[in-house]
Amino acid sequence: MTWSAGLEGNIIKYNLYKIFTKRVFLPLIAIFLTEIGDVTLAQLGIIASVTAFAQLILEIPSGYISDKWGHKSAMVFGSALSAVSVLPYIFMPNFYGGLLASVLFFCSASFVSGTVQAFIHETLLALNRETEYAKIMGRGQSYGLLGNILLISLVPLTYQLNPLLPFIIGFFCHAISCALVVSFVNPPQKISIKKQEITFLKDFKNMLSEGVLSKMFFVFMIFGISSTSFNASNVYREIVFKTIGIPVEYFGFILAFGSLLGAIAGYYIHTLKKLRPLHFYLFDILYVSLTYILIGVTESPIVIIIAFSLFPAYDRTRSIIFESHVFEEFPKSEHKATLISILNFFKPSNGVWIPAIFAYIVSKTGVLSGHLFFGVALLIILLPLLFAHNKMKKRTG
């Protein structure tokens, strides 16, 4: 096998990796913890907030470590940790097990987040295909979702046989994704990285001198708040389904439908690059806010299923466009994984307070009305940030 063929193989393996890296038991977590572990709705909010705090602490240092260790090594570590994160559900099916599992998974995600993107970008650089980043990543996500549809449709059906069985299957899926990462071929570095050791703070300061925060702060805030809000929709999704009378055995098929929409969106996500950045950010804000509002203004099972399917349909690929804009702002940066880690840092930094506010609204107004009020709140918060970014762009040129 030639060197270039090995790098092309990374792209194929990435598509397979995206199939098995998903938590195939995701639609069952809330039901499993509440039914088997006697976890309350308030405790589900605590798990989301504590997880976000742990991810907040690790997000940027993990990107820095990835740049120093090597992207492949960091991906192997993160993928192995994701497999381990399933075990608490199996051996500790209670609040503390759910908390530990969630923290471990999102800690593993902090090592993979930014690292996979940087690794694929370096692979494309070596193949002189870097302009295809959005297209390759979007279609990789699309292929991964198509494969994941089968798993996420069938695995929840095993819950009726044994509530632990979906999590056992999930462990083996993560183990497969780890094996795929181990088989990746390291691309050569086209950008010369300085060999001398530098302290984290000095290196981080040098990277920030590229103007990351001054250019992109409000964009990072929009990305962080909207991303956290997309994730927050998962916390009460199955509770909403149960409230309006949808049987548990249908949950997997509903998520599979969302994955199918996501696969279609991922295949064409690169077309959003045709939008001016400002217009794309506005689209992103309206998408998440209006979907929440749609859930809150109806009790129709069909409408609610479609609304909840709209979240993963777009959320699973939207970050590719944000990443592409970051890479375009800093094309010669030597800290690509750290750059994306800074972008992703704004997820957990806002994830500390967004789930808590959402939980408070839901507890005071009800699980359906809470979605309506939360959607309105997102518009009130996010639109001024977009306005501030536009003013900054005009001022700085």
Residue 197 has pLDDT above 50, yes or no: no
The amino acid present at 333, given as its one-letter code, is: S
**Distance separating the N- and C-terminal Cα atoms of the chain:** 48
Tell me how far CA of residue 334 lies from CA of 44, 74, 155, 175, 331, in angstroms.
39, 17, 42, 31, 9
Closest CA to 47 of 33, 61, 62, 27: 33
> Worst-scoring range by mean pLDDT, 1-5, 309-313, 381-385?
1-5
Confidence at residue 196, expressed as pLDDT on a 0 to 100 scale? 37
- State the Cα–Cα distance between residues 208 and 198, nearest whole angstrom: 15
> Worst-scoring range by mean pLDDT, 56-65, 117-126, 278-287, 296-305?
56-65
The amino acid present at 260, given as its one-letter code, is: L
- Range 23-38 average pLDDT: 85
Residue 287 lies in a domain: yes
Domain enclosing residue 204, as ranges: 3-187+197-396
Residue 339 has pLDDT above 80, yes or no: no
Residue 94 lies in a domain: yes
Task: Kindly report the average pLDDT of the chain as a whole number.
Answer: 81
Long-range contacts of 145-148 (CB under 8 A, 24+ apart): 145/18, 145/259, 145/260, 145/262, 145/263, 145/266, 145/316, 146/259, 146/260, 146/263, 147/15, 147/16, 147/18, 147/19, 148/18, 148/19, 148/22, 148/24, 148/259
Residue 192 lies in a domain: no
- Range 388-393 average pLDDT: 84
Beta carbons of 326 and 339 less than 8 angstroms apart: yes
Residue 24 has pLDDT above 70, yes or no: yes
CATH of the domain at 392: 1.20.1250.20
| Domain count for the chain | 1
Structure-token pair, residue 120: 């694929």
The amino acid present at 268, given as its one-letter code, is: Y
Q: How confident is the model at residue 9 (pLDDT cuts 50, 70, 90)?
A: confident
Residue 147 lies in a domain: yes
Residue 326 lies in a domain: yes
- Range 172-196 average pLDDT: 74
> Worst-scoring range by mean pLDDT, 50-64, 105-119, 196-210, 220-234?
196-210
Q: pLDDT tens digits for 74-102?
A: 889 989 999 999 999 999 989 999 999 99
- Range 335-352 average pLDDT: 73
